[in-house]
Amino acid sequence: MIRNVTGDLLRQDADALVNTVNTVGIMGKGIALQFKRAWPQMFEDYVAACERGEVQLGSMHVWTPDALPPPRYIINFPTKQHWRSRSRLSDIETGLQDLARTIADLNITSIALPPLGCGNGGLDWADVEPLIHSYLGPVAHKTDVRIFAPAGAPEPQKMVNREKPPPLNSTRSAMLALIHAYVQFTFGPPSLIEVQKLAYFLQLSGEDLNMEFRPHIYGPYADALRRALSAMEGHYITGFGDGSARVADAAPIEVLPEAVSQVESYIAEHPETAARIASVMDEIAGFESAYGLELLASVHWVMTHDAEARSSLEAAHTAVRRWSQRKSTLFTPSHVERAWRSLHERRLLQAI
pLDDT for 221: 98
On whether residue 158 sits in a domain, the answer given is no
Whether residue 146 is found in the same domain as residue 225: no
Whether residue 6 is found in the same domain as residue 144: yes
- Mean pLDDT, residues 297-326 taken together: 96
- Active-site residue 36, yes or no? no
Q: What percent of the chain has pLDDT over 90?
A: 90
Is the pLDDT at 148 greater than 70? The verdict is yes
Structural domains of the chain, count: 2
On whether residue 266 sits in a domain, the answer given is yes
Whether residue 37 is found in the same domain as residue 107: yes
Full DSSP string of 285-333:
TT--SHHHHHHHHHHHHHHHH-HHHHH-HHHHHHHHHHH-HHHHHHS-H
Whether residue 243 is found in the same domain as residue 111: no
One-letter amino acid for residue 282 of the chain: D
| Chain segment 34-74, per-residue pLDDT in tens | 999 999 999 999 999 999 999 999 999 999 998 877 899 99
| Chain segment 186-204, per-residue pLDDT in tens | 889 999 999 999 999 999 9
Whether residue 223 is found in the same domain as residue 82: no
Indicate which CATH number applies to the domain containing 109. Answer: 3.40.220.10
Whether residue 145 is found in the same domain as residue 177: no
- Mean pLDDT, residues 317-340 taken together: 96
Q: Is the model more confident about 14 or about 157?
A: 14
Q: Across all residues in the chain, what is the average pLDDT? A: 95
| Chain segment 75-102, per-residue pLDDT in tens | 999 999 999 999 999 999 999 999 999 9
pLDDT for 276: 97
- Confidence (pTM): 0.78
Reference 64, options 55, 73, 52; nearest CA is 73
Is the pLDDT at 352 greater than 90? The verdict is no
Whether residue 81 is found in the same domain as residue 219: no
On whether residue 249 sits in a domain, the answer given is yes
On whether residue 291 sits in a domain, the answer given is yes
Whether residue 25 is found in the same domain as residue 85: yes
Count how many residues are written for the chain: 352
Per annotation, catalytic residue among 80, 142, 158, 197: 80
| Chain segment 247-301, per-residue pLDDT in tens | 888 999 999 999 999 999 999 999 999 999 999 999 999 999 999 999 999 999 9
- pLDDT band at residue 228 using 50, 70 and 90 as cut-offs: very high
Whether residue 203 is found in the same domain as residue 288: yes
**DSSP SS3 for 155:** coil
Whether residue 128 is found in the same domain as residue 175: no
- Residues of the domain holding 44: 2-150
Give whole-number Cα distances, 120 to 22, 274, 310, 337, 345, in Å. Answer: 11, 39, 39, 38, 43
Report phi then psi at 58, rounded to 5.
Answer: 85, 5
